[in-house]
């Protein structure tokens, strides 16, 4: 079985637990997911099965979209509601909308993030959350991410608890920590904050309305209809230009051979090569040699 399943990950499950359940349901070990979701986050989690595991990286490179909520008034160790409270400041007066929007605009575009200590990023071969749980702190690598859109959906001031809730929409590049983004938004507004709710609406080119739950997958397996809900490997490569190979060209590509630009008659820097209607490889133009070389082989027969 080969293909991509756009899974709906429920809140309360880890991404790894989803993969483990699917291995049992599909009776195969060759399964990988595209872009980890924290246990408290729900939404789109593309799952690659069989030969489609070769395109996990290409699914992850696509943009993502989220909707969620920032609660302003206190901070936690994990930047969400799962952690211990480490700071608190009452919001004595409602934060005006124009101030929130201005701060969001300030966080749109190319920005630098430092991954939170409670994350799966590895430093010296160890995950950051392992250091955090041991009470240790380490220098964390900065990363550049792109926030394409950061918009305000609603804002509600809680006069009784002196807190404010901000509902938001974010479209961003891979590697973005939404927890970190919204905590920084709160900081720029002059307060501690936590991400109180998050749902991933889009990932890997899939949207929420395309997803299947674990129960949906189990039922489809039982009725032998799962294949009609799975997407082919080339779905992950749909934004690349494509070219059909002739038989002699395919013989070269089968062995990872280089191809001259004149053979392909294209000016593209990267191109998906097909033979007999099936995706076989992704090639790129090496400017030093002026030859097309394999970036990734997907099939050799």
Residues involved in catalysis: 38
Burial class (CB in 10 A: 0-12, 13-18, 19+), 154: exposed
Could you give the 3-state DSSP secondary structure of residue 11? coil
Q: Which two tokens stand for residue 284?
A: 């790129």
DSSP secondary structure letter of residue 16 = H
Give dist(CA 294, CA 286) in Å, integer. Answer: 10
Are residues 204 and 62 in contact, defined by beta-carbon separation less than 8 angstroms?
yes
Q: Is 36 exposed, middle or buried (0-12, 13-18, 19+ CB in 10 A)?
A: middle
Question: Which residues does 41 contact at the CB level (< 8 Å), separation at least 6?
Answer: 9, 11, 198, 199, 200
**271, two tokens:** 């191109």
Inter-helix orientation angle 97-106/178-188, to 10°: 130
Other CB atoms within 10 A of residue 2 CB = 17
The Cα–Cα gap between 142 and 274 comes to 39
Residues counted in the chain: 301
């Amino acid at each position: 079985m080969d293909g991509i399943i756009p899974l709906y990950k429920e809140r309360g499950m880890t991404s790894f637990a989803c993969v483990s359940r699917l291995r049992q349901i599909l009776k195969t070990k060759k399964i990988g997911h595209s872009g980890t979701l924290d246990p408290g986050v729900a939404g789109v989690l593309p799952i690659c099965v069989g030969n489609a595991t070769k395109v996990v990286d290409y699914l992850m490179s696509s943009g993502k979209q989220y909707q969620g909520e920032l609660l302003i008034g206190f901070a936690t160790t994990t930047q969400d509601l799962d952690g211990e409270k480490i700071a608190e400041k009452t919001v004595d007066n409602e934060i005006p909308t124009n101030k929130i929007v201005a701060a969001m605009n300030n966080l749109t575009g190319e920005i630098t993030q430092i991954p939170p200590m409670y994350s799966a990023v590895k430093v010296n071969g160890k995950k950051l959350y392992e250091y955090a749980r041991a009470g240790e702190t380490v220098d964390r690598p900065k990363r550049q991410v792109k926030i394409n859109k950061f918009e305000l959906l609603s804002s509600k001031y809680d006069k009784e608890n002196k807190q404010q809730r901000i509902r938001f929409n974010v479209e961003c590049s891979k590697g973005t920590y939404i927890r970190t983004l919204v905590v920084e938004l709160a900081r720029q507004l002059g307060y501690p904050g936590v991400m109180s709710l998050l749902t991933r609406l889009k990932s890997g080119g899939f949207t929420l309305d395309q997803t299947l739950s674990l129960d949906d997958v189990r039922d489809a397996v039982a009725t032998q209809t799962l294949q009609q809900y799975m997407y082919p490997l080339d779905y992950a490569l749909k934004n690349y230009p494509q070219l059909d190979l002739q038989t002699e060209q395919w013989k070269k590509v089968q062995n990872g051979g280089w191809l001259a630009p004149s053979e392909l008659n294209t000016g593209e820097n990267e191109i998906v090569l097909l033979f007999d209607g099936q995706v076989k490889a992704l090639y790129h133009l090496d400017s030093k040699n002026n030859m097309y070389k394999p970036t990734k082989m997907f099939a050799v027969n």
